């Protein structure tokens, strides 16, 4: 019997090795990537690794975290940070990764916009990516509440109050989300469930959809050149690697990804060990107090631009809510708002390049003023920046259509 089990074990091992070798062969012969790409094409892999780090560090934190309004703050700031061996390290990794992952997401999104990677059959890649951004935002917000500090508590109060502006069902919707009339223990329990179970599962599913969508079109290169991938792959396989304009996914493309990932992880762990405080608001190191409102309430830096759009219409909360909704939906519409079929770097587009850089500057202004008190000149600058943000997307169809005519309908 022992010899039979041993033979079965060897057979299983050989079958696994064969499956791995087949996978490597498929990756090396069927998936081809343009040779002319830069480090910005590695952002997707970095995001996947960051998400894995969040899961691993989150599992360690989960062993000691208490999802209770009376125990949550101490479980994070005393038990994990002071009493558990290397608990501080896992909290730093989790906190820094949660912040840095949004930096990489924004770079990834803006790279897609700059190189027009949302067009020519790539709409599903873009839409699934923007949907991932939205779910990641919900995951980050639910996690920000879990330490049960002052800023966590009051940020949750402000954000849940937004749903109260929904016509007819607003007040009941807020109570349903909170599980109480105010942000309380029931709210913490609900957000804990979202953060630990539901949203991570949704993110994993969407990541699979996002990667699968890459099978439909080929990855575009940084020059926007249209390639015959089959022909270029034949050159590569025939040994003419210099003239071929593509490389195999394995090991050519993945080796570039690993190099960029290595450089990024040096930067990441530098922040973890020496500058982790940038990802943690000082006000959040005070326990939540429903009787004491902070002087100025604001979200994490990656939400500041949309928060400023919300409060930019300081004279009308209804207009602010409408603008906030549009700002968080309009990215889905990029493939349909851009009427120019040209796929390539923004530097080759005579009008869109101005649109792009004004858009980037406006987002920076919104982010900067989103953390400042909305008083005096700050309020008016925020209003102008919010109007500019909405106007840019409203004008995009007209700008891109005129640009198409200027370029002679070049694809």
Q: What is the pLDDT of residues 361-411, one digit of tens each?
A: 999 999 999 989 888 899 999 999 999 999 999 999 999 999 999 887 554
Q: How many CB atoms lie within 10 A of CB 272?
A: 22
Boundaries of domain holding 338? 298-406
> Where residue 228 falls among pLDDT bands split at 50, 70, 90?
low
| Other CB atoms within 10 Å distance of the CB of residue 346 | 17
**33-78: pLDDT as tens digits:** 777 778 888 898 899 999 999 999 999 999 999 999 999 999 999 9
Do residues 131 and 274 both lie within one domain?
Answer: yes
Same domain, 183 and 332: no
The answer on 257 and 326 residing in a single domain is: no
How far is the CA of 345 from the CAs of 220, 352, 386, in angstroms? 10, 10, 26
Q: Is the pLDDT of residue 338 over 90?
A: yes
Which residues touch 41 (CB under 8 Å, ≥6 apart)? 33, 111, 219, 256
pLDDT, position 26? 43
Hey, what are 166's tokens?
Answer: 């929904």
Q: Is residue 15 part of a domain?
A: no
Domain count, the chain: 2
Model-level pTM? 0.87
Its sign, for the CA torsion 220, 226, 231, 234, is: negative
pLDDT (0 to 100) of residue 234: 77
Q: Is the pLDDT of residue 24 over 60?
A: no
In a domain, 312, yes or no: yes
CA atoms within 13 A on the CB side of 212: 7
User: Which of 259, 278, 293 is at the close of a domain?
Assistant: 293
Task: Look at residue 222 and give its three-state secondary structure.
Answer: coil
User: Is the same domain home to 132 and 246?
Assistant: yes
Same domain, 258 and 271: yes
Token reading at 364: 């920076």
Q: Is 21 inside any structural domain? A: no
Residue 347 lies in a domain: yes
For 179, the 3-state DSSP assignment is coil
Please give the angle made by the CA atoms of 301, 352 and 310, to the nearest 5 degrees.
Answer: 30
Regarding whether 247 and 198 lie in a shared domain, the answer is yes
Return d(Cα 174, Cα 169) in angstroms, integer: 9
pLDDT digits (tens, 9 = 90+) for 98-108: 999 999 999 99
260 belongs to a structural domain = yes
More confident residue, 38 or 17: 38
- Give all strands (DSSP E) within 295-409, no chain letters: none
284 within 8 A of 149, measured Cβ to Cβ: yes
- In the chain, the percentage of residues whose pLDDT exceeds 90 is 59
Verify that 126 and 159 share a domain, yes or no. yes
Pairwise CA distance, residues 35 & 269, whole Å? 30
pLDDT of residue 12: 63
CA dihedral for 62, 63, 69, 72, sign (positive or negative) = negative
328 — phi, psi (to 5°)? -90, -5
């Amino acid at each position: 019997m022992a010899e039979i089990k041993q033979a079965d074990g060897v057979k299983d091992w050989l079958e696994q090795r064969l499956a791995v070798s087949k996978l490597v062969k498929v990756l090396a012969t069927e998936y081809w990537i343009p040779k002319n790409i830069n480090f910005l094409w590695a952002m997707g892999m970095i995001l996947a690794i960051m998400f894995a780090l969040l899961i691993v560090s989150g599992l360690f934190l989960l062993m000691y975290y208490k999802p209770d309004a009376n125990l949550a703050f101490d479980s994070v700031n005393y038990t994990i940070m002071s009493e558990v061996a290397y608990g501080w390290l896992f909290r730093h990794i989790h906190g820094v990764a949660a912040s840095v992952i949004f930096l990489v997401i924004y770079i990834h999104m803006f790279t897609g916009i700059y190189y027009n990677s949302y067009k020519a059959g790539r709409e599903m890649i873009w839409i699934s990516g923007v949907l991932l951004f939205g779910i990641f935002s919900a995951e980050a917000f639910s996690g920000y509440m879990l330490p049960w500090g002052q800023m966590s508590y009051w940020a949750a109060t402000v954000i849940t109050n937004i749903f109260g502006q929904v016509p007819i069902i607003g007040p009941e919707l807020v109570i349903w989300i909170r599980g109480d009339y105010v942000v309380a223990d029931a709210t913490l329990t609900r957000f804990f469930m979202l953060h630990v179970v539901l949203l991570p599962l949704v993110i994993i599913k969407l990541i699979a959809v996002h990667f699968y969508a890459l099978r439909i079109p080929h990855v575009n290169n940084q020059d926007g050149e249209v390639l015959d991938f089959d022909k270029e792959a034949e050159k590569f396989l025939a040994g003419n690697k210099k003239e071929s304009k593509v490389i195999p996914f394995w090991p050519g493309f993945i080796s570039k990804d690993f190099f960029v990932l290595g450089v990024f992880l040096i930067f990441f762990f530098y922040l973890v060990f020496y500058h982790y405080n940038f990802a943690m608001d000082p006000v959040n190191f005070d326990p939540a107090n429903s009787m004491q409102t902070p002087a100025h309430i604001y979200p994490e830096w990656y939400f500041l631009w949309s928060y400023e759009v919300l409060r930019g219409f300081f004279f009308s909360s209804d207009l602010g809510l409408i603008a906030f909704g549009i700002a968080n939906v309009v990215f889905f519409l990029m493939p349909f708002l851009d009427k120019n079929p040209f796929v390539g770097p923004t530097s080759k587009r005579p009008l869109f390049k101005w649109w792009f850089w004004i858009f980037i500057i406006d987002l920076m202004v919104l982010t900067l003023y989103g953390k400042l008190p909305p008083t005096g000149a700050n309020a008016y600058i925020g209003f102008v920046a919010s109007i500019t943000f909405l106007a840019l997307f409203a004008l995009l169809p007209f700008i891109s259509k005129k640009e198409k005519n200027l370029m002679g309908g070049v694809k």
